[in-house]
Chain A
Amino acid sequence: MRQLFCFVLLSWISFASLLPPAFAAAADYHEQLVLRPLPLSALLASFNFRSNTSLSEFEAHNFRFFPRSLGQILQHAGTQELHLRFSLGRWDSEAWGARPWGGAREGGTGVELWAWLQAATDEEADHKWLTLTNALSGLFCASLNFIDGTRTTRPVMSFQPEGDHLNTTAADTHLLYGVLPHEVVCTENLTPFLKLLPCKGKAGIATLLDGHKLFDASWQSMAIDVKPVCPVGGECVLQIELTIDMVLDIDRSKRPRDNPIPRPPPGHELPCNTSKPYHSHDTCFPTDHQANQDWTLSQIFGRTMKGTCPLTDPTVPPVCLQVPDSRSVYHSDGVLEKKNLDRVSRCFEIKPDVDFEIVLPAPEDESAILVKPETPLLYAERSFTGHGQERGGVQTILRNPSPDTEVEFIYMESLPWFMRIYLHTMSARIQGHTTKDKSLIKEVYYRPAVDRARGTQLEVRMRVPPASTVFLTYDFEKSILRYTEYPPDANRGFDVAAAVITILSPAAYNLRTTSLLCSLPTPDFSMPYNVIIFTSTAIALAFGGMFNILVRRFVAADEGPEVGLAVLKKRIKERVGVLVQKFKGKGQKAEDKMVEVGRMVENPGVGEQT
């Protein structure tokens, strides 16, 4: 019972920023950082920045908290709702539990973009999508312009608009989804991201964002969400929410920046599991779960936080920390600590112009170091099966940890066109059973690929019974590309985007599998020249043979002209003799002779012995 109570409160905290719209519209700007220590010396830091602008101001091009650079792109491309994700790494749900924001603010590895565009026809929507991706590509220094027709799908079941779209009909709103799994998210994507914030990186929690730390994280996700929000009885506002979630390795972050090479700690500093029977002064079984839970903000982020952004809503505390109440936390002056009612989180109210720092000492009570991570609704792993260069298969293992609740969800894949899937091979079976269970898959939406024009889109609505594991498998065939279609590093393989799992019941939750690396049959790239030489030789041989048969005369061996080395020798001798004569004998005589000899040497006929 107590656990359930904790669960409810914890989820309320986690979803604190997904507040009802009426409340969200109250302030124009707010920012919050939530720190949550995780097992295995990890720390989840969730940065959330949210600003509102009224739709009338937005349409009049007056930008205050809403970034102008993004605003005019949205207006130019007729975008009603936009979601952009830059992600790196893998969320380890076995150790870290449920994802922050219920998975709603993260994407698969690489870049993901989905948007609702206002357009009368599909062609117009495609055109606007092209404009949008190209403009965003310039704004975020990412290769978003490579989201072309082959990487764009129109999901039918997976995504639902988050905002309130009042005066638009479903007919003229188009949802487009594009994904670039190959994109490497980097510091150059963070800089434009920070520029979108009203306080830049100069004040408030954004001062903690540093490219070195962010991209050193075990998992990180940057999200931009723009949506219209219409509170009841109020004016509609356009809301932009920027979220950065990262899981930092405390151990790695605490290494000095000028000397980051890891070194083993001395034996007496090793945290050992003393309960092991073989524990002694020279053997040690390391305890990893509780290790390294003492840290300070400046150790983790490399700097302290510089005051608060003066524009932020004063009712929202800028920093919250989710550790049990029993744990002591020290903080700098000018900071007010407030423990929340749920007993597992506390928030800090910070005066402007005060450098904020918190120190978590090594805990005395081993049992109350961490808040126990919440169990996710579903675990998903996806991998390749199959053999050889031609035949492949995909297997997704979906595990429902709940003992009594069935999970229903939509599984979406957007595959590149060169993976030709065989839909009839798709099957789902429960672990332990050898036959497939038809009741698991409830609905399939499938849009087959068109070579070089669009990718496969597969959406499956399925369920996983309580406390069971389901295997979803299908086979595919790898096609051979044209030689110009291979990238320079063709042997690395081709990235396949993460599958998106949208859980419908028992609660809204999103998760993504990891992306895959599919290796295609790769040719030898000197091939074109080999082909030219080979075919030319074949043609030349065929032509030469045919031509000679047609134009040459066939005679008996002793009837044709002399051939062989001896003839050649004789001819050369004659020529040399003529030359010698020419040099010795002057005048007409020598020339006459040469003509005579020349005539004698000349081969009289066209016919030759073959």
Chain B
Amino acid sequence: MSAQPLPKDEVLATTTRKLPPPEKPSDVRRRSHVILSFWLIVLLLGLPIWWRTTTIYRADLPLQDMLDWADGKACRPVFPLRISIQATSFQDQEAQNLLRLTQHALDDLNDFAGHHLRLQLSDEEQESADNGSALTIRLTPGEGTTATLDPYEPILDITYPPNTIPSPTASSSPLATYIASQLRTTFAEEQATISYLLSTNSMPSEHRPLGLSPETTESLAKRTTRSVKYAPTYHLTFSLFTSGPLPSSWDIEGAIEEYMKPVLEVLSPIHNFTIDTQVQLYASPGVQNQVLNKEDLSSFINAAEWPLSPSIGGAPTINFIVFVGNQTITNPSQESATSQSWLIPQWGTVYLLSLPDDTTHVTAATLKQPLLTFTSHLLSLTGTPESGSLPLRLSTLARIRSADLLLRASSTLGSLARLAMALPSISIPSSVADGVTKTMSHLRLACDNLGGTEGLAHARIAEAEAERAFFEKSMVGQLYFPDEHKIAVYLPLLGPVAVPLVMGLINEIKAWRKRRREKAEKGAEKKEQ
């Protein structure tokens, strides 16, 4: 080197560095193997483990089938109602002809495919219940053409003048038309209710009848919102409220036994009931007015102070309140008329009972009117139709309820499917998938047996299973990790580890490309030589 130091740049430029000795090919190969094996471990072991431990378990749901149920594509609700005709006084041929003509007339009148009345002849005398027919028509000769519903049995008594029996060859008959129109009026409410239910749920339009007038729809909507959600058991709570110290006891047990039990027994195939009663003194109502108008009624129940907590044990509670007081209710439609009770949709009934001031004990006889009111309100709270004889109303109730449950379970399935699609990060445990499978199998069974008691049972199970699947606890608390949190957890580990790995790989690829180029150059040189 020269004595005088040169500028640094020149030093760097001019110094020749020693080259390292050439590497052994085995070392180069080993380095490639090391890098390759690290990357293989990362890709084949690390990534799958990470994927497996952080992924969210989602059981397979038959999403398309579920949506089909919700859209009404999977089930076409059909209520085939068999109606027996008891025509003992007819000759066989005549009876067959009457049946054919009536069926024709019925089919002409009917505009709703889902609700289908099918007539059949019954030969034996007593068969009304066990052959599954919804109604029996008993034809008896008489003076004029009359039709009356039997109040205790599902029987329609029709009398006819003997001369109106259609001849075997006749193509039309006034009697057949009459019977058909009678049947139609009998089942008109049921038809309307079911078609209303179908129309409010997203059923395809071809199943939907168009014959509902806006007024009918409105009244049906009112009735449906009024009725309590279906449950196999209802708790009935009878409460005596009084704003003062008296009366402090009542003979509610006897009154229920006498005035309400018969109806509860009739309802027992569809619902079970448990009853409790209570007396509450010094319970002042939320409204102190002497005359209550419509707005007061909604705030009359003093929810903060009256102990009306719902019963525990799952089943819904229906409250029946007798309030001792001389308040009256004005009816806006009839100025002079006053009433004593009102129904609170999906909750119960309040009855204002006016008693002398010194009454200490309310007798069963005094409770007759309140309990009769409660009974009729109970029927409308359970959703029983308003027209027809009681047995017919109850069988209609069973059919309406099964349709309702079926539709509700279907729509729950649809909601579950949409939820599963909308939230990709929600976990779906296998119990939900089980619930969905069970729901669908019971829905299928219910759909095939609509109109019968089996259908109701299956629809009930399907609805319960669907609700359970939808409200699965572990699905409610969704796992949520914000991205910032993930970065904070992953970066400190992955950053320092990934940098040497990636740099090593890049350098190795560069070296490999360089080696290849050198090889190629050498090969070219050899060729030239």
Whether A606 touches B34, Cβ cut-off 8 Å, given contacts A72-B312, A311-B248, is: no
Q: Are B18 and A558 in contact (CB under 8 A)?
A: yes
Q: Is B446 an interface residue (CB 8 A)?
A: no
Contacts of A135 in B (CB 8 A): 312
Q: Are A550 and B34 in contact (CB under 8 A)?
A: yes
Alpha-carbon gap, A202 to B488, bound state (A): 61
Q: Are A311 and B34 in contact (CB under 8 A)?
A: no
Q: Are B511 and A606 in contact (CB under 8 A)?
A: yes
Interface band, chain A? 35 or more
Q: Are A566 and B309 in contact (CB under 8 A)?
A: no
Contacts of A202 in B (CB 8 A): 281-282
Contact with B along A115-136 (1 / 0, CB 8 A): 0000000000000000100010
Find the B residue at minimum CB distance from A573: B9
Segment of A36-44, A55-63, A342-350 engaged in the interface with chain B = A55-63
Q: Is A543 an interface residue (CB 8 A)?
A: yes
- List A181-212 residues whose CB lies under 8 Å from chain B: 195, 198-200, 202-203
Segment of B263-271, B447-455, B500-508 engaged in the interface with chain A = B500-508
Find the B residue at minimum CB distance from A67: B307
Alpha-carbon gap, A553 to B517, bound state (A): 21
Whether A570 touches B9, Cβ cut-off 8 Å, given contacts A68-B276, A536-B492, is: yes
Alpha-carbon gap, A203 to B281, bound state (A): 10
Alpha-carbon gap, A117 to B35, bound state (A): 68
Contacts of A604 in B (CB 8 A): 514
Q: Are B245 and A76 in contact (CB under 8 A)?
A: no
Q: Are A556 and B18 in contact (CB under 8 A)?
A: yes
Contacts of B17 in A (CB 8 A): 558-559, 562
Q: Are B253 and A62 in contact (CB under 8 A)?
A: yes
- List B7-44 residues whose CB lies under 8 Å from chain A: 8-9, 12, 17-21, 23, 27, 31, 34-35, 38
Q: Is B418 an interface residue (CB 8 A)?
A: no
Contacts of A199 in B (CB 8 A): 245, 281-282
Contacts of A334 in B (CB 8 A): none
Q: Are B492 and A533 in contact (CB under 8 A)?
A: yes
Contact with A along B245-263 (1 / 0, CB 8 A): 1101100110000000000
Q: Is B522 an interface residue (CB 8 A)?
A: no
Contacts of B495 in A (CB 8 A): 540
Whether A551 touches B20, Cβ cut-off 8 Å, given contacts A195-B307, A532-B492, A540-B497, is: no
Q: Are B497 and A605 in contact (CB under 8 A)?
A: no
Q: Is A316 an interface residue (CB 8 A)?
A: no
Closest-CB distance, B384 to chain A (whole angstroms)? 25
Q: Are B311 and A537 in contact (CB under 8 A)?
A: no
Q: Are B511 and A605 in contact (CB under 8 A)?
A: yes
Closest-CB distance, B458 to chain A (whole angstroms)? 29
Find the A residue at minimum CB distance from B23: A553
Contact with A along B310-341 (1 / 0, CB 8 A): 01110000000000000000000000000000
Q: Is A548 an interface residue (CB 8 A)?
A: yes
Q: Are A203 and B282 in contact (CB under 8 A)?
A: yes
Contacts of A553 in B (CB 8 A): 20, 23, 27, 31
Whether A606 touches B282, Cβ cut-off 8 Å, given contacts A63-B276, A135-B312, is: no
Contact with B along A552-585 (1 / 0, CB 8 A): 0101101110100011001000000000000000
Q: Is B279 an interface residue (CB 8 A)?
A: yes
Q: Is B229 an interface residue (CB 8 A)?
A: no
Alpha-carbon gap, A63 to B248, bound state (A): 11
Alpha-carbon gap, A62 to B278, bound state (A): 6
- Contact pick for B12, options A76, A529, A544, A570, CB 8 Å: A570
Q: Are A139 and B309 in contact (CB under 8 A)?
A: yes
Alpha-carbon gap, A529 to B274, bound state (A): 56
Alpha-carbon gap, A395 to B276, bound state (A): 51
Q: Is B295 an interface residue (CB 8 A)?
A: no
Q: Is A73 an interface residue (CB 8 A)?
A: yes
Alpha-carbon gap, A64 to B248, bound state (A): 8
Alpha-carbon gap, A605 to B21, bound state (A): 12
Q: Are A567 and B488 in contact (CB under 8 A)?
A: no
Contacts of A533 in B (CB 8 A): 492
Contacts of A540 in B (CB 8 A): 492-493, 495-497
- List A302-335 residues whose CB lies under 8 Å from chain B: 309-311
Q: Is A539 an interface residue (CB 8 A)?
A: yes
Q: Is A286 an interface residue (CB 8 A)?
A: no
Alpha-carbon gap, A199 to B249, bound state (A): 14
B interface residue numbers (CB < 8 A to A) = 8-9, 12, 17-21, 23, 27, 31, 34-35, 38, 237, 245-246, 248-249, 252-253, 274-279, 281-283, 305, 307, 309, 311-313, 488-489, 492-493, 495-497, 499-501, 504, 507-508, 510-511, 514
Give 13 pairs: A residue, B residue, CB < 8 Å, sorted on A: A62-B253, A62-B276, A72-B312, A135-B312, A200-B305, A311-B245, A536-B496, A539-B493, A544-B497, A550-B31, A559-B17, A566-B9, A605-B511
Interface contacts beyond A76-B312, A310-B246, A550-B34: sample of 9 additional A-B pairs, CB < 8 Å, sorted by A: A62-B278, A69-B307, A76-B313, A131-B312, A310-B245, A540-B492, A544-B500, A547-B504, A553-B20
The 5 lowest CB-CB distance pairs between A and B, nearest first, are: A540-B496, A61-B276, A536-B492, A202-B282, A536-B493
